[in-house]
Structure 1
Amino acid sequence: MTVAPDLAAEWIDRWDAQQEGYVPDREERFAVLVDIVEHAVREVAEPVVVDLGCGPGSLAARIAERVPRAVIIGVDADPLLIALARGRYGDLARWEVADLAADDWTAALPGPVHAAVSTTALHWMLPEQLAGLYRTLAAHTAPGGVLANGDHLAVAEGLAGPAAAVGAGRALRSGVTGREGWTDWWDALLDDPRLAGVTAGRRRSTSAVQDAAGESEHHDGSNRLSAADHARLLLAGGYSGAGVVWQHGEDTVVAGVR
């Protein structure tokens, strides 16, 4: 599955714009995640960095800018998003189509992981799937390695309203309101005749984009886990320490150290 570089860049730029509508501090979140990676691999000559649910490669590209010596593995279940990443970024990373809910995604790893990242992706996993992912990842992570996950995470009971107000206020101040939505982006992508060769067989769903076999890539909605839930699962999975390292309303980065 191949996409021309200019066409891939066009659609990834549009992806980035619509994502900012949901994550007004997206670039700051990216910077925080890369700060964590850079610190974790500071003494490793050729660190292995895994981007979990990498989508079209936006975070992986930013890691490559700051840590050019890293071997980056971008893993996503969607072959179309991986095709866009390959089209725009080429061999900046090793792009792998794999399901993070299955254990066999680790076959893509060239060795021990020194840092793993994810952004706005793991909330689609059921809690038991996420627990399995953290166990599997911990088993493949070098001592001192980290996982850093940025996402909208559930806040304490009674604080959902104030947290939502913080997010809405930040979106207004950042000028990212009224952006194209996730579903609209997918609809437009699948309607683009220039991508007919790679979108053939894909069909729309109100809850997820589905492949030709009708298999949904995500369950319907978010697992609504909190930062405390993620920390608990990381510790149970084999990480020695875990907790929040950055937060703005619901927008949270949780990290675990192996």
Structure 2
Amino acid sequence: MGVSMATAKEWVERWELQQQRYAVDREERFTVIADVVEHVTADRTRPLLLDLGCGPGSLAARLAARVPDADIVAVDMDPLLLELGRTHHAGAARYVDAVVGEDHWTDALELDRPLDAAVSTTALHYLPEPTLLDTYRCLGDLLRPGGALVNGDHFAQQAPGCSELTAHVGRRRAERAGSHGQEDWQSWWRGAARDPELADLFTEREQRLAGFGGGSAGDHLTAARHAELLREAGFSHVASVWQFGDSQVLVAVKD
């Protein structure tokens, strides 16, 4: 069910372009996340990192470049995106097929030591609030003291008027950067479905997703609510370290 290097390269490069439509200042957000990871792992030998909802390895590849001595475990439930990552970014991470937030999902990670950092971009908003709290607790158990959980995402604002404003600022930024000229999410997936090399993986993906409700259950959660859940999960140090529009990087450090 593997794909060729050429096919993986094509679809990962197209993925990178279409994602720029949605993640405001995506590259800067990746850089900030890497800055945080670099800081918390500065005195560590072979730091262990976990990439949650890794997709085709976009963040894992950037972290591998910034922290080349790190061991990175990248987890996702999407078989097609995982295979693209395994092929195109093979050296960046060890890719794990698991559903973040399900019972015993961390067993599949097969970690041999505590994590130095857990990272995520535009993924945890798929989790409903109770599952998100459980996930934060699990990650707190996996992290070493001084380790960090770093979440880059689009967060709802406290007031609807503010949400509309921050979303507008983000859209205008994307327009200035020319990102809206790229293909969108739907056209990327339509194209992938037509590629013969991806057909079996696409079918498996559709079968898996049929068992889930779909949507983004946690889209309504503000950064402040995420911070409350993180503190409830045992993280006493939580801060937003970067923001543009409604895109933020939230960091929680374990005592």
TM-score (norm 2): 0.93
Is 1:79 the counterpart of 2:79 in the alignment? yes
Amino acid at match of 2:117: A
Contact 2:8 2:88 in 1 (8 A): yes
Q: Report matched runs for 1:1-258 at 5 Å.
A: 1-107=1-107, 108=109, 109-157=111-159, 158-202=161-205, 210-211=206-207, 214-216=210-212, 218-219=214-215, 222-258=218-254
TM-score (norm 1): 0.92
| Backbone CA RMSD of aligned residues | 1.6
Distance 1:73 1:92 in 2: 9
Deviation string, structure 1 residues 195-254 (Cα, Å, up to 9, x no partner): 23433455xxxxxxx326832374456532111011111111111211211101100111
Q: Per-residue deviation at 1:102?
A: 1.5
Structure 2 residue runs without a partner (length 5+): none
Of all paired residues, the percent bearing the same amino acid is 44
Residue 207 of structure 1 corresponds to none
Contact 2:24 2:244 in 1 (8 A): no
Q: Per the alignment, do residues 45 and 217 of structure 1 end up closer, same or farther by CA in structure 2, a change over 3 Å counting?
A: farther
Distance 1:20 1:213 in 2: 24
Q: Per-residue deviation at 1:80?
A: 1.2
> Could you say what secondary structure the match of 2:104 adopts?
helix
Contact 2:80 2:198 in 1 (8 A): no
Distance 1:143 1:89 in 2: 30
Structure 1 residue runs without a partner (length 5+): 203-209
Contact 2:127 2:217 in 1 (8 A): no
Contact 1:134 1:234 in 2 (8 A): yes
